[in-house]
A and B are shown apart, each in its own frame.
Chain A
Amino acid sequence: MAKSVDLLQGTLDLLILKAVSLGPLHGYGVLLRIQQISGEQLEIQQGSLYPALYRLEHQGAITSEWGESENNRRAKYYRLTAQGRGLLRTETDKWNRMAGIIGDILRASPEEV
């Protein structure tokens, strides 16, 4: 198993939005989806997931609904709202720009400076 990486500060919200954008998920499902997409490389504090979900719902980026889970339990499913979709787009752009800038900086060689 690959060594897992701690989540960067402030990126959990973005990952939740992305995970939920692929289809409605319950809280545990969000966790599984993120770990699955990351190839089990990301370690998410299970407890910090829920405050983040509640915060996003409070802001109106996601909305929730009680439903039935795959193993016939009652579970709370989260889905992206229109507002959340917009948020995901701007946050993704922001992330990509930031990642590009950081990457450029880190790639810089002595000649370029």
Chain B
Amino acid sequence: MSLLPRFRSWMRSVSHPSRLHREMDEELRFHVQSYTDDLVRSGLSPAEAARRARIEFGSADAHKEEMRVSLGLRLWDELRADIHYGLRMLRKSPSFTIVAVLSLTLGIGVNTTIFTLAKHLLMDRLNVPRPEHLRLFNWVAPKGKTAVHSMWGNWDNSGSQITSTSFSYPVYQRLRAANRELADLFAFKDVGRMNVTVDGNADVVQGEMVSGNYYEQLGVRPQLGRAIEDFDDKPGSAPVVVISDGFWARHFGRAPSVIGKTILLNLTDVTIVGVNAPDFTGAKSVQVSPDVFMPFSLQPIVLPRNGVGSLLTDTHHWWMLIMARSKPGVTDAVATAALDLALKDAVRSTMNPKAEEALPTLRLGDGSRGMNETAAQFAKPIYVLFSLVGFVLLLACANIANLLLARASARQREMSVRLAMGASRRRILRQVLTESVLLSVLGGAGGLLLAFVGSNEIPLLLRNPWEPTLVTTPLDWSIFAFNAALAMLTGVLFGIIPAWQATRTEVNTALKDAASTTTRRRHGYAGKSIVAFQIALSTLLVLGASVFLRTLLKLDSVNTGIDSHNLVLFELQPPLSRYPAGKNGELYSSIEERLAAVPGVDSVSASTSALLSNNISNDDFNPTGQTPVPGKEQTAYDNAVGDAFFSTYRIPILAGRAFNSSDTATSLKVAVVNQALVRQFFPGQNPIGKTFTTSGMKDEKLLYEIVGVCADAHYQDLRSAPPATFYMSYRQTPDISWGMSYEVKTKLARAAIAPSLREAVQSVDRNLPLIDVRTQQEQIDALSQQERIFATLSSAFGLLALTLACIGIYGIMSYTVARRTNEIGIRLVLGAQSRQVLAMVLREASWLSLAGVVVGIGGGLLLIRLIHTMLYGLRTYDPVSIAASAGLLVGISLLAGFLPARRASRVQPMEALRHE
């Protein structure tokens, strides 16, 4: 018989339960009434007829029950009864329910959030068709002997070899022409920040240069307008760009009229011809999209270089990234071999390498995730987070298991009674299962909520306060399902197993068992090992929290050597096309003057590198009269600064003088050096009046005279000690090509002063946007952001773990005491002091916690060894952290064990003996 009518009928019954009920009543009533009428007609009195009809018809409720069975509603009815009963049981013990649901919520929610973030940062692929076919080119050469000397981009020279993904344009052209083994080669390069002016508003964008076949080979189409085509990437072609969806939304409010619009890009007119789809992030990164895509042909006008000709003809400088799709049937090994020959040919023909220089060897890497920089950047912190939240999930599961085990023993009697009254074992197991699933569903719902909040909040932790959020992580349902399933499995397993055991025992034994209490140590065995496991996990998490907290505290208490209060920073990147290096000193000075005149500004300074911003510059440093010692470091950090730099940062001048207006572009070049430099290059000498040479950008020997010595200040970050540094006046530095950072001392808040600063800069050039307006303190906090995240999260997890462990110990000890009340009573009767009973119970609690603590510390130290590079100012075996976490755990365990212990010691012997 077909299932469809049954299903329809079932759905009807389930979806309108009250109507079904009403109609059943009405139908049966009609029957009885009709029968009564007939009986009256046959001569009975109405009352007698009604009585007879009701008797003959039987119990309406019983019939209705059977009618529901006919409708296939039996399982449904029983399930509803189970759920109803389960909810009542959960309501009856609210603390159990709350703790269990919260454990599940946290376990599921936190893990889903972190797993989702990790998957997005480490594993997601580019949003293009068939990303697995993409190959990213890279090369490898012996370190120090490679023919490639000049690179722009990422390289890795950590081993004995240097590897890089950068190629020169001429090499790219030759490789592309020689390629038979892969689909057409295409290239791209993230060129970093560019200034853009849209309708008179200056802003900063991330630019990306791409080859003419980039879109075609990636297989993506813009959502609006057209892609960049081959004909755009020819010298002299009209300047066009394709913009990102984000840029379109920010600056054009998603107006379709954007196509054909002209904007100023680094002061060059370019026309927007297309808008990328929202989910397209380019070929380099899965997480972040550049704002403006332009063909390589625009490089000479949009990103001109300082008098060294076009990048597109430069054979010396390696900078662009190359990708291609694999061809079916051609293995990577075959393609690599062929293209390696082509690369070596190209290097020989374009660079004339010297005989002793090694030619780079080509390799094909996985391009499905682009450059996958985030993986390199975040892999370690993510794995640490992974382990932390993994422990939290374990802990939550252990907690659930513990709670359910304890509850099952408490309900042993109830189950025996139900068995005795004729409930089948299956029926009881189903009831327990329903309760476990109910708990899991409640916890899962909470976890889902937490994951939703978390996946919106966590990315905020990863950004700087002055930058837009770069990483967005939509909730990943498969990860949620995994975590929820894991938690649910734990719940079901630890709900069912004890129930299984409970229902297997003979009804009689179980009913008697509670009355004949003896010392049954085996009973609490599973529970105790779970509690010890919980304590071990908690110790581990607390230990982790304390090393991260202490690292953060150490970083926060680093003496930076500067006064970071009331300082607002921002950067400027004047396009070289209007302000060529060497001719931009004028611009920087006039901006400095305008800024100083802004009301509320106390002093203004400028420097080529902002302090404590992970930016550094270094150069060779050759003191006059010292012959270089082979192997000795002859470089020092440098920074070209404004006159008020030292006073603005409150860096004391210890000898000589700071820069002043008498130091001009034409006067004698002077420098201020720090103590570290004096220690390194002039130990025991007075450096004032000494001279040194340094190279500058164009490899010319520039002579400087030291006129002052300043105190040491941290340059790049908090972790490395102040390096040997010399400061120059930016007016005497001929080659500032990467822009300038300004430091403004003001008592006003950043948001309050920013508009007037912007106005002051744009009164000099209205196309100059302010970049990264932030306070020096925000900048310093950003340096220890990762440490802050870890300290915060691990402390929260540690606290959570402590609470759970506390509950676990309290629960298991209360349970033990309750079971041993009888025994304790006997002991008391036989003369035991209540102090002895207290000690006996506490001793058991401390053994439990000691075992857990020892295991936890051991495991924790092993794990900390893996992450010691993330710590600062601590040894791997930090005695303070170890002592603190062990002490905390033991203390808390004893506290949690104390209440049940006291209860045991106050047992009244007579009561205890009667206790059932």
Contacts and interface: CB of A to CB of B under 8 A. Distances in A.
B26 A47 contact: no
B355 interface: no
B700 interface: no
B9 A57 contact: yes
Interface of A is mostly: helix
Interface residues of A, number: 25
B155 interface: no
A89 interface: no
A96 interface: no
B35 A58 contact: no
A27 B63 CA distance: 13
Interface of B is mostly: helix
Interface in B58-82: 58-59, 62-63, 66-67, 69-72
A59 interface: yes
B27 A71 contact: no
B41 to A, nearest CB: 11
A17 to B, nearest CB: 14
A73 interface: yes
B31 interface: yes
Interface residues of B, number: 29
Nearest to B8: A60
B231 interface: no
Given A46-B56, A51-B69, A58-B5, A73 B30 contact: yes
Q: Which of B23, B28, B37, B70 has the most CB of A within 10 A?
A: B70
Contact of A47 (B2, B27, B62): B62
Given A27-B27, A76-B30, A54 B67 contact: yes
A33 interface: no
Contact of A60 (B5, B28, B70, B71): B5
B311 to A, nearest CB: 78
Contacts of A50: 27-28, 31, 63, 66-67
Contacts of B31: 27-28, 31, 46, 50
A59 B30 contact: no
A97 interface: no
A52 interface: yes
A26 interface: yes
A87 B28 CA distance: 26
A35 to B, nearest CB: 11
A8 B731 CA distance: 114
A48 B72 CA distance: 16
B30 A74 contact: yes
B20 to A, nearest CB: 10
Contacts of B4: 60
B752 interface: no
Interface in B500-534: none
Interface in A58-81: 58-60, 66, 69, 71, 73-76
B57 interface: yes
B70 A58 contact: yes
Given A45-B58, A51-B63, 20 more contacts: A26-B30, A46-B31, A46-B35, A46-B56, A47-B59, A47-B62, A50-B67, A51-B67, A54-B67, A54-B70, A58-B5, A58-B6, A58-B9, A58-B10, A59-B6, A60-B2, A60-B9, A66-B23, A74-B30, A75-B27
24 contacts: A27-B27, A27-B30, A28-B35, A46-B31, A47-B57, A47-B63, A50-B63, A51-B63, A51-B67, A51-B69, A51-B70, A52-B70, A54-B71, A58-B6, A59-B6, A60-B1, A60-B2, A60-B9, A69-B30, A74-B26, A75-B27, A76-B26, A76-B27, A76-B30
